[in-house]
Structure 1
């Protein structure tokens, strides 16, 4: 089984560009309406034997309107839609702090912006997702997740840019490092 190491350069919206490391994503659109969305999936799904999977996203530039969604999606999810807006996707949104699943807002967390680090943990033992902001656990955002899932990020913010950490460097959320990730 291949491990997640970067974003999938061949599985993204045309509104996004990815740097040579495969970790930094920039939004190239105007972000003026709901059709100007760009999303990207990781280069591999989360391994089925994984009990706990965690990754972090650094907000390099929130862009003009801060519309950035961080979460998970299924392979069938339309990458021209925002993470969480459609069936088969779950996302935490920077502009308003909403946790959104299949178009439904379930909880409200803090918004996020430039310099923040958002962590996302999928626990397959109890099928829940929790998020962290700058190393602080925000609690369970979603329940009953199952199936083959990919880390996913969506952007609709002119000038927006993020960088992912799939575990190649130390996480800001220290508690996750005490537990095996895969």
Structure 2
């Protein structure tokens, strides 16, 4: 069972660059284009819980950063949650987007430079919740998950720069993910 441990250099938008660690992603578009990157492996549902965190090193000019997960078929030039088979929490408006509806739901606070956003997929009850700076946002963002899901991040903010933690270092969130 292979777990996601880095970004997939061959599964990203051309508007993104990735450093040699395969954990840091920089947006290189002009804010008109969206860049999305997927992890190197899907999340195995048999692990029951999967959690990862994204450090916002630089929010960029307009803070358009989306953190979530998607299926392999999803367009890498559309923000997480804007297409069927894609879900994401966005830092510029605090909304969660799920699939092709085009409409988000207010979920949590905005996030920006210096924040760490965590995403927890619970395959026992097929739900997702997010954390900010190690604290659970307290409610379910998505329900009824299905499909083969990859962690993903989308950026559309000039100067935007993030780093992912798939568990190679200590997480900021230390709470009980199974209680939600």
Does TM-score exceed 0.5, indicating one fold? yes
**1:105 alignment counterpart:** 104
Q: In the aligned structure 1, how far is the partner of 2:39 from the partner of 2:126?
A: 20
Q: In the aligned structure 2, how far is the partner of 1:43 from the partner of 1:167?
A: 14
The aligned runs of 1:3-152 (5 Å cut-off) are: 3-31=3-31, 33=32, 36-102=33-99, 103-138=102-137, 139-152=139-152
Q: Deviations over 1:127-151 (max 9, x none)?
A: 0000000011112111111121000
- The answer to whether the 8 A contact 2:6-2:40 is kept is yes
Q: Deviations over 1:77-124 (max 9, x none)?
A: 000111111111100001011111113313331000000000000000
How many aligned residue pairs are there?
A: 175
Any gaps of 5 or more consecutive residues in structure 2?
A: none
Q: Secondary structure at the match of 1:92?
A: strand
Q: Secondary structure at the match of 1:49?
A: helix
Q: In the aligned structure 1, how far is the partner of 2:103 from the partner of 2:166?
A: 27
Shift of 1:64: 0.4
Shift of 1:47: 1.2
TM-score by length of 2: 0.94
Q: Secondary structure at the match of 1:95?
A: coil
Q: In the aligned structure 2, how far is the partner of 1:64 from the partner of 1:107?
A: 22
- The answer to whether the 8 A contact 1:107-1:141 is kept is no
- The answer to whether the 8 A contact 2:85-2:147 is kept is no
**2:174 alignment counterpart:** 174
- The answer to whether the 8 A contact 2:79-2:155 is kept is yes
Q: In the aligned structure 2, how far is the partner of 1:126 from the partner of 1:3?
A: 20
Shift of 1:2: 1.6
Shift of 1:40: 0.3
Q: In the aligned structure 1, how far is the partner of 2:103 from the partner of 2:112?
A: 22
Shift of 1:20: 0.2
- Would you identify which runs of 4 or more consecutive aligned residues in structure 1 move more than 3 Å? none
Q: In the aligned structure 1, how far is the partner of 2:105 from the partner of 2:85?
A: 15
